[in-house]
Structure 1
């Protein structure tokens, strides 16, 4: 049995990746930073791959520390580098996000190479594809051939910087060391959660559903169902021709308002957000260093991402945006992440 290492095993995407691997017959070793997140991983396995618990092993390893990585790589056939640091508010110190992304990726690849591992599938993002390329107004379509230009961005964004620099470093390392690398690029990741430890993206849905997000920016995003993202990681692993390739895992573009409309139709008794923030207010808040720094680069334009290449790798159509949104909402309600509905 091939054993696959999955980094950041307690993450939303990683839990689904582990489930996909176990159901496909692989053994899995997952890394966690500490024991606090371990129960959530086992809960995910019980939900996603019941009966396969014996094929999962969890070990401790930190992206910013060499300790544990040599042992984690021992006996491993391939690595799925999924771990990432994601924050809801732009940090004052970008290195809180950038260092784990860049140094962590370099550390994982370095220890993989030392262990003789040649195959790596890495979770990247549309953040490494559609930014800093001179698109400030109107509609533009992006594909895997586009690569974010950090020097061209209107405002810095730690997550985008970290992901872009990490992917660049990964491709440089792979080329220099003969490593077979594939990168997967999701957008806003929605879909069902297996436990209350979900993701920043699910907060987009739960915040609209219970009105705790008081107003919506006039922007949109490509939506990715976490089940499609996980399945694409395994499809890449099982497809030798995917080595050296980037794959967008992205559904159609939707605005915050359209997401709210889907939720309002499905949950008419909930206080779904209705107010919209004008663009000029978003820009002012951004200049003052507020939380809108994470979305300012999307104000005034539409970024559409062509996920057809990824869909071909997956071998089936993506789940619909509506299914991704409503399954995220159902998870939020089930795990108590949504305030009680309006009376």
Structure 2
């Protein structure tokens, strides 16, 4: 029996790679878009990645801010991967512009999934909901950590905390038999297909172009989009994943100068404009564990070097 999966936010970087892997593994896939006019963006990206038949893919128009379309989208689905989330181009003046769609959108999808008798929903949250309100010095972040939504944090970060907490509350109070799992990725990098690229791409390009001239006093962890798609599918299927949250990250973190040095060493042909960036001291390197995903889901991510170079190669190409 072919199982059916709804992927919300099919035009996003994680969404498109997840659809690709599901189709490659023989699933029927439904995906939601804010406008069906963007359907060709998905089809062209999948063609570029080698998909030749689209018989198992269907499209539904639905928005996080509106009930319309969701019941039809989740109908006959075994699983829902709720990946869509509002990402503001710039920080909004009113934090509710990003918080309300993130929170209400998650609840909208969960309610529709419950009504439709879906087996499990996997929600894409973020490291933003884990590691943004405590000092990272001498601390290894795990799934036990939560960002304090009352700390002075940016609206996007707050939206991730509020949306994830609201989803857990819904499951606890109204979820019934609906199974639920959360994935918390760090900064997502990796290969671009169909011109659908991640937020981090702009940073990498500005390092290559010499726009970045100094290393700020912070580091970040990264994870390959192919591994993020994979962990969603593993979390969807593994019986032990119900009721759990999983950090998705590679081993180790990077500063801007590490990226610059990696490009100089591995892609010297594009490194002529890169500024000479000073390193930061070891105490600034954030430590994040993916041990739980490794142990429960048998998930083994690519190295940070491989995923960064995949992003960099996409910029070159």
For normalisation by structure 2, the TM-score amounts to: 0.91
Q: Residues 40, 276 of structure 1: CA spacing in aligned structure 2 closer, same or farther, 3 A cutoff?
A: farther
Where do 1:23-34 residues align within 5 Å? Answer: 23-34=24-35
1:158 aligns with 2:155: yes
Displacement of 1:173 in angstroms is 1.0
Q: Residues 76, 217 of structure 1: CA spacing in aligned structure 2 closer, same or farther, 3 A cutoff?
A: same
Where do 1:137-176 residues align within 5 Å? Answer: 138-151=137-150, 153=151, 155-176=152-173
Matches of 2:256 and 2:103, distance apart in 1: 30
Give the structure 2 partner of residue 74 of structure 1.
Answer: 75
Matches of 2:223 and 2:292, distance apart in 1: 14
Displacement of 1:312 in angstroms is 3.3
Matches of 1:212 and 1:228, distance apart in 2: 30
**Consecutive unaligned residues in structure 1, runs of 5 or more:** 279-299, 335-343
Give the structure 2 partner of residue 181 of structure 1.
Answer: 180
1:261 aligns with 2:239: no
Give the structure 2 partner of residue 212 of structure 1.
Answer: 211
Q: Residues 273, 312 of structure 1: CA spacing in aligned structure 2 closer, same or farther, 3 A cutoff?
A: farther
Give CA-to-partner distance per residue, 1:225-256, whole Å, 9 cap, x none. 10100000001112111010111111111112
1:272 aligns with 2:274: yes
Q: Residues 246, 37 of structure 1: CA spacing in aligned structure 2 closer, same or farther, 3 A cutoff?
A: same
Matches of 1:220 and 1:264, distance apart in 2: 19
Q: Residues 49, 24 of structure 1: CA spacing in aligned structure 2 closer, same or farther, 3 A cutoff?
A: farther
Matches of 1:309 and 1:10, distance apart in 2: 29
Matches of 1:253 and 1:125, distance apart in 2: 16
Matches of 1:253 and 1:89, distance apart in 2: 25
Matches of 2:278 and 2:34, distance apart in 1: 39
- Farther off after superposition, 13-22 or 111-120: 111-120
Given that 1:249 and 1:311 are in contact with CA atoms closer than 8 Å, whether structure 2 keeps it comes out as no
Matches of 2:279 and 2:260, distance apart in 1: 14
Displacement of 1:49 in angstroms is 5.2
Given that 2:217 and 2:284 are in contact with CA atoms closer than 8 Å, whether structure 1 keeps it comes out as no
Give the structure 1 partner of residue 119 of structure 2.
Answer: 118
Secondary structure of 1:86's aligned partner: coil
Secondary structure of 1:29's aligned partner: strand
Q: Residues 196, 79 of structure 1: CA spacing in aligned structure 2 closer, same or farther, 3 A cutoff?
A: same
Where do 1:1-343 residues align within 5 Å? Answer: 1-48=2-49, 50-133=51-134, 135=135, 138-151=137-150, 153=151, 155-176=152-173, 177-178=175-176, 179-251=178-250, 252-268=252-268, 269-270=270-271, 271-275=273-277, 301-334=284-317
Q: Which runs of 4+ in 1 moved over 4 A?
A: 275-278
Q: Residues 260, 87 of structure 1: CA spacing in aligned structure 2 closer, same or farther, 3 A cutoff?
A: farther
Matches of 1:226 and 1:220, distance apart in 2: 19
**Matched residues, number:** 309
Displacement of 1:71 in angstroms is 1.0
Given that 2:36 and 2:59 are in contact with CA atoms closer than 8 Å, whether structure 1 keeps it comes out as no
The CA RMSD measured in Å over matched residues stands at 2.0
Secondary structure of 2:314's aligned partner: helix
Displacement of 1:43 in angstroms is 2.1
Q: Residues 277, 171 of structure 1: CA spacing in aligned structure 2 closer, same or farther, 3 A cutoff?
A: same
Secondary structure of 2:243's aligned partner: coil
Given that 1:16 and 1:48 are in contact with CA atoms closer than 8 Å, whether structure 2 keeps it comes out as no
Given that 1:142 and 1:306 are in contact with CA atoms closer than 8 Å, whether structure 2 keeps it comes out as yes
Matches of 2:275 and 2:91, distance apart in 1: 23
Q: Residues 168, 59 of structure 1: CA spacing in aligned structure 2 closer, same or farther, 3 A cutoff?
A: same
Displacement of 1:144 in angstroms is 0.8
Matches of 2:180 and 2:275, distance apart in 1: 42
